[in-house]
Chain A
Amino acid sequence: QSALTQPASVSGSRGQSITISCTGTSRDIGGYNYVSWYQQHPGKAPKLIIYDVSNRPSGVSSRFSGSKSGNTASLTISGLRAEDETDYYCSSYSSTSTHWMFGGGTKLTVL
């Protein structure tokens, strides 16, 4: 089963906003509102930053927001900061035999 599709890299300047896309199918992203986003710094465990498409866990900055349209979910980071420079992964429930899908990850560079 193929992973969800994310761009390998995105970049943006400090203070600006960027959006990372995550494309799936009607059997995962398009069929359920169970999209999560994770931030992972090198050598560290993933950290949940968005769940159920657009909800933020307690303690996560409001600069992070999520949305979904059809089979594509998006993570937007506003007011980019140097500490945002790292890897981001999307995840979704899937009705296939692979119950939980992840995207291939996107490396964010803050210029």
Chain B
Amino acid sequence: EVQLVESGGGLVQPGGSLRLSCAASGLTFSSYWMSWVRQAPGKGLEWVANIKQDGSEKYYVDSVRGRFTISRDNAKNSVYLQMNSLRAEDTAVYYCARDNAYTRDYWGQGTLVTVSS
């Protein structure tokens, strides 16, 4: 059974940093692209970033490019999202998801990031 477990969320002040982690199990982690998707309170889903199997390609939504960095450690079956220069509009539940071809087929339960003073 595929399981994705996010951690690292919390309350951070505007301009601060946070690093999210996602631990994967039940899959050959190194065979898949992985994504981060977020959902602001009461709002819809927004794709944030994804990373290729070997980490050689990374893509970001325009609103986070230059502030967020996605990375992975295949030895630890984990994907990360380093978030810097956080803004109030980054407040959201952040989900990690497995990219399977052209869809996201497995999702974690999410971790809440709140940016507020």
Contacts and interface: CB of A to CB of B under 8 A. Distances in A.
Contacts of A34: 102-103
Contacts of A57: 105
A48 B105 contact: yes
B47 A101 contact: yes
A72 to B, nearest CB: 18
B62 A99 contact: no
Nearest to B47: A100
B47 A98 contact: yes
B102 A52 contact: yes
Interface stretch (A10-18, A74-82, A102-110): A102-110
- Consensus secondary structure, chain B interface: strand
A51 interface: yes
A97 B59 CA distance: 8
B109 A45 contact: yes
Interface residues of B, number: 22
Interface residues of A, number: 27
Nearest to B35: A100
Contacts of B106: 48
A7 interface: no
A50 B35 CA distance: 18
B56 to A, nearest CB: 16
Contact of B103 (A48, A98, A99): A48
Contacts of A38: 45
Interface string A27-40: 00000101010101
A45 B108 CA distance: 7
B87 interface: no
Contacts of A89: 44-45
B105 A98 contact: no
B95 A45 contact: yes
B110 A102 contact: no
B107 A102 contact: no
Contact of A91 (B45, B50, B100, B108): B45
A99 B50 contact: yes
Chain A to chain B: the 5 pairs with minimum beta-carbon distance, closest first: A34-B102, A100-B47, A51-B103, A45-B107, A102-B45
Given A44-B109, A89-B45, 10 more contacts: A1-B61, A1-B62, A34-B102, A36-B102, A52-B101, A89-B44, A91-B103, A102-B37, A103-B44, A104-B44
